[in-house]
Structure 1
Amino acid sequence: MLGEPFTLSTWAFMLLKKIVVPEKKVYLWSHGWYGRENFTKKWIKRAFFGLADGNFLYGNYARKVAIEQGNNPDKLWVIHNSLNYSKHIELRRLIKPSAIYKEYFGDDNPVLIFIGRLTKIKKLNQIFEAVAFLKKQGSNYNVVLVGDGEERSMLEIEAIKLKIPVWFYGSCYDEIKNAELIYNADLCVSPGNVGLTAIHAMTFGTPVITHSNFSNQMPEFEAIIPNKTGNFFTENSIENLVESISKWFSDKNYSRERIRQYCYKEIDNFWTPKYQLDIIKKHLS
């Protein structure tokens, strides 16, 4: 069942199960813990998840927080998350470098991409501010936003105001095109919580930068291995975001192909339906 502690029907189901059919088992699958729970929420969650026979969690961070809050580690299992891996792998085998960005922007400047809904919680204006700051320092970057949302109009105005090159690609549900856009970008930047954007980007070999306040993150941040599959910056610090982007490209030993392989390895090993199925079989057998 979905592990939503504020869904009363789930409480009722688990309590009735213990009374009527105690031999049956109930397993919950959820984010679980974020690390920002107040005293009341800690105890509600402890009672709720304690009723289950086991809990599948999206990340190791949630498990760590749960254990610190007194929950039974033997009932907490990390299952991660995944996208349409089999389809993505087919596309990955077919992808080749293209001139899509050179043709659009007319230069060879590094490309920063974000793919997902253009919402306030993603704090995409921070990308613009960072790129404008870098431009003043003499470093030029192109920005590509793949997606749509309520923040688009505001972001379009901001891009004009800051005089930075931004391609508002819009919504795209064609995974062949998404694969090309991601593969040919240099770095995915998600200043707010990153979520499945990280998995999507790394599946096609593009590293990810997002913020380091894990209590305000989604579990997919755990796919980021510093200096290999991406990096972190201090939440809401434009200065540190600028530093993180600049540092990523200034490494003398930087190899786009090596980074691509790091991303592939992380996804292939831990963020697939097969990995999830293996975890389920291990604990439900």
Structure 2
Amino acid sequence: MKQQAMLVSELLPHYRYGVFKALEVNDSGTEWSFAAGNSDRAKSIPTIERNLLQTTFALQNRHLPKGLLWQSGLLGTVRRRRPDVLVFTGDVSHLSTWAATVLARFQGAKVFFWTIGWHRPERGLKKFTRMCFYSLAHGLMLYGETGKRIGNEMGYPNKRMWVINNALGSSLNAASAKDMDPATLEAFRQKLPSGGTTIGVVVRQNASKRLDLVIRAAAEMDRRGRPVNVLLVGEGPEHQALKSLARELGVALFMPGPAYSQQELDLVYDRLSLTVLPCQAGLAVMQSLERGVPVITDDAPYTQAPESDAVRDGETGARYTAGSVSALADAIETWLGRLEASPATVAQRCKKEIEEGWTPTAQAQLIETVLLRNEEAP
């Protein structure tokens, strides 16, 4: 008899469609179903139409004060369906997950939490609560190595943690797949640098992203006799301040606004030699490496997103000393040299990183591997 697995989530987010479909067509014989409510608290995340998945169960999300959630119908669904495996999105604020995990284990099911885990070390009541919650599961499926490392520091058993990465791409993102009007696309193209070496990033222009460091590093490169253009694609509250800084330092800055379509993004990454995101590197890492463009970001241990794990120092990019303009300029200079020497090799390594660990198919395979390893475990 095939193993029955159920994934329980607050909702069915559009960006998980690729992974969910890859799970449905897995080679291990596991039959998957999906139980979820209809929306998040803010009703801001587009969801997957339930008829696009083979088996779904509708839950009612009851959003409580202080960010807590109870999913009505979850306990009944678990009791009636009795799946062999339950995978919850492991959010400690989901009170119904606590109860459903206890019920599932009482029924003999394996339980796993799919979660980002720890952002940074915790103490006191917060540490105690998270550890109690995570101890209910047979194990954790984590987004990245940082969460696993901190989990070890917090005392969670290493043998009960597996890194499954975070998949890039969703075939439901129809808006980005549509062809743009040629005139609109050409207008966007005209806002990009037409020659010279270009560094930059596609990201919202917030103060927390420290995009000023990209401009300051470009000024340092100019002083070293290696001038570069800076291309910052996006919008945000730091827009004017960044323009003023570039003007003050004499840096060639291009700011074409946001890029939403794949065609616009392809144009951007065709211009970029390097993606330079000084800190908090997330989705931009995926977009860049997928197109063969290496990434430079900082080495801060607790402020990076899980996707930054794909930046492998010396292979798919570099980690520089956080906050140091000279260290950032050194990394840029080193990688521009590598790109001049072997551009095809660099691009191949970047694309391979995404293909082997960060696609929906790759993530589904990692999830299935966790389940197979634990099928006979107590």
Would the TM-score normalized by the shorter structure come out above 0.5? yes
Aligned CA distance change for structure 1 residues 17 and 208 (closer, same or farther; 3 Å): closer
Residues 218-272 of structure 1, C-alpha deviations (whole Å, 9 max, x = no match): 1111111222210010011111111111122235973111100000111100001
- Greater RCO between the two (CA within 8 Å, min separation 6)? 1
Instruction: Provide the identity percentage.
Output: 28
| Counterpart Cα distance in 2 of 1:251 and 1:20 | 53
1:35: which partner in 2?
Answer: 120
Q: Contact between 2:217 and 2:328, CA under 8 Å: does it hold in 1?
A: yes
| Counterpart Cα distance in 2 of 1:80 and 1:16 | 25
Q: Which amino acid aligns with 1:147?
A: G
Q: Which amino acid aligns with 1:212?
A: D
SS in 1 for 2:106: coil
How far did 1:64 drift?
2.3
Residues 178-216 of structure 1, C-alpha deviations (whole Å, 9 max, x = no match): 022113310000001101111110000000000011222
Q: Which among 36, 45, 52 is matched to residue 130 of structure 2?
A: 45
* 2:271 counterpart of 1:151: no
Q: Which among 344, 347, 359 is matched to residue 260 of structure 1?
A: 347
| Counterpart Cα distance in 1 of 2:358 and 2:158 | 22
Gaps of 5+ in 1: 92-99
1:116: which partner in 2?
Answer: 203
| Counterpart Cα distance in 2 of 1:267 and 1:87 | 19
Q: Count residues with an aligned counterpart.
A: 271
| Counterpart Cα distance in 1 of 2:252 and 2:322 | 24
Q: Which amino acid aligns with 1:264?
A: K
Aligned CA distance change for structure 1 residues 40 and 239 (closer, same or farther; 3 Å): farther
2:255: which partner in 1?
Answer: 168
Q: Which amino acid aligns with 1:131?
A: A
Higher fraction of strand: 2
1:193: which partner in 2?
Answer: 280
Residues 28-71 of structure 1, C-alpha deviations (whole Å, 9 max, x = no match): 22210233433543333211211223321101221122123211
SS in 2 for 1:168: strand
Q: Contact between 2:119 and 2:147, CA under 8 Å: does it hold in 1?
A: yes
SS in 2 for 1:232: strand
2:264: which partner in 1?
Answer: 177
TM-score, normalization by structure 2:
0.65
Gaps of 5+ in 2: 1-87, 178-187, 373-378
Q: Contact between 1:228 and 1:262, CA under 8 Å: does it hold in 2?
A: yes
* 2:210 counterpart of 1:126: no
Q: Contact between 1:14 and 1:52, CA under 8 Å: does it hold in 2?
A: no
* 2:137 counterpart of 1:83: no
Aligned CA distance change for structure 1 residues 73 and 105 (closer, same or farther; 3 Å): closer
Higher fraction of helix: 1
Aligned CA distance change for structure 1 residues 86 and 229 (closer, same or farther; 3 Å): farther
Aligned pairs for 1:230-249 within 5 A = 230-249=317-336
Q: Which among 63, 77, 94 is matched to residue 148 of structure 2?
A: 63
1:107: which partner in 2?
Answer: 195
CA RMSD of aligned residues (A): 2.6
Aligned CA distance change for structure 1 residues 226 and 19 (closer, same or farther; 3 Å): closer
SS in 2 for 1:231: strand
1:15: which partner in 2?
Answer: 99
Q: Contact between 1:15 and 1:51, CA under 8 Å: does it hold in 2?
A: no
Aligned CA distance change for structure 1 residues 262 and 85 (closer, same or farther; 3 Å): farther
Task: Compare CA radii of gyration and give the structure with the larger one.
Answer: 2
1:274: which partner in 2?
Answer: 361
1:206: which partner in 2?
Answer: 293
2:65: which partner in 1?
Answer: none
Residues 111-152 of structure 1, C-alpha deviations (whole Å, 9 max, x = no match): 112012111221101101111122122210011111111221
Aligned CA distance change for structure 1 residues 143 and 252 (closer, same or farther; 3 Å): closer
